[in-house]
Structure 1
Amino acid sequence: MALEDAKDLARRQSSKILDLSELRGDVSPAAPHASPCKDVEHGYRVNHWWSVVGPSADALKEAMDRLHLELPKQGWKVYRYGEANSKARQLRLEVEDKKEHHTVTIELSLPSTYPNPSKWEKKMRDSLSVSLASPCYVDKSYKPNDQ
């Protein structure tokens, strides 16, 4: 798959997730980018990280629950839904698109609800973060520095 086609697909996948979340807020302006696949000549994968801030903690929780319920109806397989293995124990959803094989990790971060937030956590905003990764694609014209 050509790099631009893979980036467009990642954007569409991310847009579907945002639409399903029904969140309205500030979405980070991150664009999909490519990184080389280890030991695959002309191989690359597309990553797309973005987050939403602005909605209330309750709205973010509802969006997370909605994604957990709705993504499987849209062809995504849920691999994990529960607390992350971190100090914050934020809620994490890990899914894979059965057709395109994109993997996605969605994390709900609610520092406003922490009982004893650190100085750093007090500066953070409640958010829903999404990290999408494509499978490894091969494009003979791809070079590792292409973005």
Structure 2
Amino acid sequence: MKIKLGVLAVAIPLALTTLTGCGMTDNGSDVPSSGTSTSSAAADEVERVSSDIHDLIGLRGKTSDSRATVTECSGKDPDTYFRILHPWSFSPASSGDLETAMRRLKEALPEHGWKIVEYGPDTSKNKNLSLTADNDVKKVSVHVVQMAKDKPPMLSVDVISGCYQVPDGQKVEHF
């Protein structure tokens, strides 16, 4: 399934501005430090987190085929520091399962180390149900939007890491 460009146009800036790791701060920063890693290893880890979230949904459906991407850490050297963003979507086999998918995430995420920091309707004209959760151990956040009025109805999911630093002598690989 292809992700609509309009969804990405809203989702990526939203993820970058609102998913700052609420409750996961290190050293007074809004974004937690995720340690040292190469871009590709960090992307693999964030994609594993996305896969775990997908498994928590526990329903059949179509998942977009998207890869993680490198973004900047605001206010830090872009050659040394980076974040990983993995946007994807899930359309359940039955549109009636959309609410079930969101309810399962709300219930299962806290059981797997996540803290729900926001849950309720968003500010869009559709008042989409949205959920934001942080995982302090993995230094990642997830933002899920239930897009019930889309065709097909889907969950829009953004998983974003804290700030990584590349190993000494290396530069951030952008993809």
TM-score per shorter chain, which class? 0.7 to 0.9
Preserved contact between residue 68 and residue 93 of structure 1 (Cα < 8 Å): yes
Code of the residue aligned with 1:146 in structure 2: it is H
Deviations 1:13-65 (A, max 9, x none): 00010000012222111100101223322100000000012422321111100
For structure 1, which runs of at least 5 residues remain unmatched after alignment?
112-120
1:11 equivalent in structure 2: 47
Name the counterpart of 1:94: 132
Q: Take 2:99 and 2:93, find their aligned partners in 1: how far apart are those partners?
A: 10
- Which of 104, 112, 117 is 2:142 aligned to? 104
Deviation at 1:84, TM superposition (A): 0.8
- 1:24 maps to a residue whose letter is R
1:62 and 2:100 matched: yes
Structure 2 Cα separation of the partners of residues 142 and 100 of structure 1? 23
Instruction: Look up the match of 2:75.
Output: 39
Q: 2-side partners of 1:23 and 1:37: how far apart?
A: 34
Query: Counterpart of 1:105 in 2: which secondary structure?
Result: strand
- The answer (yes or no) to whether the contact 2:59–2:92 under 8 Å persists in 1 is no
CA distance in 1, matches of 2:72, 2:122: 27
Instruction: Give the number of aligned pairs.
Output: 135
Deviates more, 1:70-79 or 1:48-57: 48-57
1:56/1:126 contact within 8 Å kept: no
State the match for 2:111 in structure 1: 73
Secondary structure class of the residue paired with 2:156? strand
Percent identical:
30
> Could you list the runs of 5+ residues in structure 2 that have no partner in the other structure?
1-36
TM-score, length basis structure 2: 0.73
Q: Is the 8 A contact 1:23 1:60 kept in 2?
A: no
Paired letter, 2:161: S
In structure 1, what is the Cα distance between the partners aligned to 2:119 and 2:96? 18
**Please, what is the CA RMSD of the aligned residues?**
1.4
Q: Could you say which structure has the larger radius of gyration?
A: 1
Q: Is the 8 A contact 1:25 1:54 kept in 2?
A: yes
**TM-score, normalised on structure 1?**
0.86
- Partner of 1:18, secondary structure, is helix
Following TM superposition, where does structure 1 have runs of at least 4 consecutive aligned residues deviating by more than 4 angstroms? none
- Alpha-carbon distance in structure 1 between the residues aligned to 2:99 and 2:53: 15
The question of whether the paired residues in 1 share the 8 Å contact of 2:135 and 2:141 is answered with yes
